[in-house]
Amino acid sequence: MKENQQPGKSKQSKVLPISMDAGFFFERAVSSLDRYHYDKALKYFRKAVEYEPDNPVNHCNMAGILSEMGNYEASNAALSVILEKIDPTMTECYFYMANNYANMDMFEEAEKALITYLEEDPSGQFLIEAEEMMELLQYELERPTKVTKIKSLAGVLEHDRARELLEQGRFTEAVKLLESIVEGQPDFWAARNNLALGYYYMGQCSKAIDTIYGVLEQEPGNLHALCNLAILYQHEGKTEFLQELSARLRKIIPFHQDHLFKLATTMGVLGAHDMAYRHFRRLLKDEALRTDPALYHYTAVAACNIERFAEAENLWRHVGRLDPGNEVSEYYLNRIEEMAAGTRPVPVHYHYHLPFEEQVKQWELPGEGIPTNIADNPLVRSSFFWALRYGDDGTKLQVIQAFGLIGDHEVEEALKAFLLEPEEDLYLKDLALYVLRSLGVDYELPVCTGEATLMIDPSQTWAKLPVWKSEWQAVLDLAYEQMRSNTDIQQQHDMESLWVQYLNLSYPDIPAISHIEGWAAALDYLTAKVNHRSVSYEKVAERYGISSSTVRKYSLRINEVCDAKDTVKMIFPYVQ
């Protein structure tokens, strides 16, 4: 006989136990929200808080439903619990509180909460919404919102400023700013890439390469870093590395506009004009860029270099229509036939301005000279700094003179760095010292003469003379006054150099300088001669109110001591 069995023991139970945890109530709350049952949703969110009181998300959800129900005060109380007791790093709570205060028309409190959000939140999740709320608060409070910093944009605004400085040729300022950004944000790759460019523009190539390597160690595919590295390899003559990297770059087809432009300009610099042309052509298909004359110019230069001269001509004509006041398109259109015939070289750079050599030629035309507003053109200004490092001596001479007109802190730093270059011509360094003196530099600077480094004070042009007499200075002052309107910085420098040289070589038997006008006129005349300017004793004498024989007399006396025909290469005595 079988034993009796208890009911339910013969089968496995099919009833599943309910897990009453915070997740369960959260799901119920969300389900209620979907059906717009806000009371039930609030009840379930509160149960979730009871089960997990230390979970800030549960409190935040409860605050959110309270706000939806119009109970803004209770919502802010829940948000305050999060910030004060559970997780102060949930800075988005300040944004939610600002919304609640605004809905209660408590605009002062809303502003305080919004400012706290912007200054403390690192992610910027609600940055766009915060900007919109800021506009509302400005309208309601009838004053601007006093935001001193936006944490989520830390370094971004400074980086934009640094990029502007680079474009303006203010490399020293840009590098200092970028260094501070990178120090605070080591993974800000764009800032690091631009820092590398800044080092490169300042001639610190090894430092630039090390900076790029640092980026590529963390992001091997960073296109900006790869492009910058290729240009540096080319500059340093690292042919083997460049060939490998250039082949890699030729295979890349960027999607983003800024990447495409970066690669296009890089391929142009590397001489891969076929690839540059393809990439520039792709950019021209972008509606937003079709009014940019510079982009059409870049494409025309690339077309020229791959012998698409008819196309280049059409592109430059379009540049002229887009930017009728610019000389660039006219300059190249006037030379396109010669380039096509092979009697004139095609352009080797892509900058949207006249070649630097052409600018120099225009300055040398009668009545032209270096324009006084050159500092206002970032492209021209940037080309000056480039030419000072990589141009020939004649170009560098023009740049140094132009720097005398710009005369800002960046110019001072560039000239100081130039003085330390061992291979640079001593005459150019002496002219740089003269310009620095004209800019008010009156302290000792290190100057590399090739064999040694000397400390020189630009303001002490008569360093080897034990005294400097007032009548000697009076000669200089008068010559300056007469020459300033019709001579450039170089000629004024040469005049002063000639006078100091004469005094040094004559010392201690320097004759009495009583006829100030005669000596000044002689310096004026000789300076014009060594700089190949048309001049006569009579013309100079007329300006100084003396006879031509007096000008001739004192000119001969100076020439007996200094061979004036060589003073075009005269340098201050203490740099010899």
In a domain, 336, yes or no: yes
Q: Write out the two tokens for 575.
A: 């740099």
DSSP state of 207: H
Q: Is 479 helix (H, G, I), strand (E, B) or coil?
A: helix
Residues 134 and 162 in one domain: no
429-452 per-position pLDDT tens digit: 888 888 888 888 888 888 888 778
C-alpha span between 137 and 145 (Å, rounded): 7
Percent of the chain with pLDDT over 90: 26
* Phi-psi category of residue 255: left, alpha or beta, with phi > 0 → left and psi -120 to 50 → alpha: alpha
pLDDT classification of 545: cutoffs 50, 70, 90: very high
Residue 12 lies in a domain: no
Domain check: are 194 and 333 in the same one?
Answer: yes
Write the DSSP symbol of residue 268.
H
Burial of 40 (0-12, 13-18, 19+ CB in 10 A): middle
Shared domain check, 177 and 108:
no
SS3 445: strand
Asked if residue 16 is part of any domain, the answer here is no
**Cα separation, 370 vs 361, whole angstroms:** 10
For residue 556, the SS3 value is helix
Q: Which of 432, 456, 480 is the last residue of a domain?
A: 456
Same domain, 479 and 556: yes
The tokens for 169 are: 């040729």
- Could you tell me if 234 and 374 lie in one domain? no
Residue 567's pLDDT is what?
Answer: 44
Model pTM above 0.75: no
Is 124 inside any structural domain? yes
Which residues contact residue 479 at a Cβ distance below 8 angstroms, ignoring those fewer than 6 apart?
Answer: 495, 499, 520, 521, 523, 524
For the residues 315-332, what does the mean pLDDT come to? 91
Which of 490, 270, 257, 495 minimizes the C-alpha distance to 369? 490
Burial of 224 (0-12, 13-18, 19+ CB in 10 A): buried
Residue 150 within a domain: no
- Contact in structure between 62 and 76 (CB atoms under 8 Å): no
Number of structural domains found in the chain: 4
Q: Are residues 139 and 245 in the same domain?
A: no
Higher pLDDT, 198 or 384: 198
End residue of a domain, out of 288, 316, 341: 341
Least confident range from 200-204, 517-521, 530-534: namely 200-204
For residue 360, the enclosing domain spans 356-456
- Residues 182, 326, single domain; the answer is yes
Same domain (yes/no): 138, 161? no
The verdict on residue 349 lying in a domain is no
| Domain end point (choices 341, 368, 400) | 341
Residue 275 lies in a domain: yes
Same domain for 286 and 223: yes
CATH number at residue 90: 1.25.40.10
pLDDT > 80? residue 71: yes
The verdict on 440 and 543 lying in the same domain is no
Indicate which CATH number applies to the domain containing 570.
1.10.472.10
- The DSSP secondary-structure symbol of 2 reads P
- Per-residue pLDDT, 462: 62
The answer to whether residue 360 sits within a structural domain is: yes
Task: Give the span between the Cα atoms of 331 and 359, in whole angstroms.
Answer: 11
Looking at the fold, whether 403 and 366 belong to one and the same domain comes out as yes
Q: Are residues 295 and 378 in the same domain?
A: no
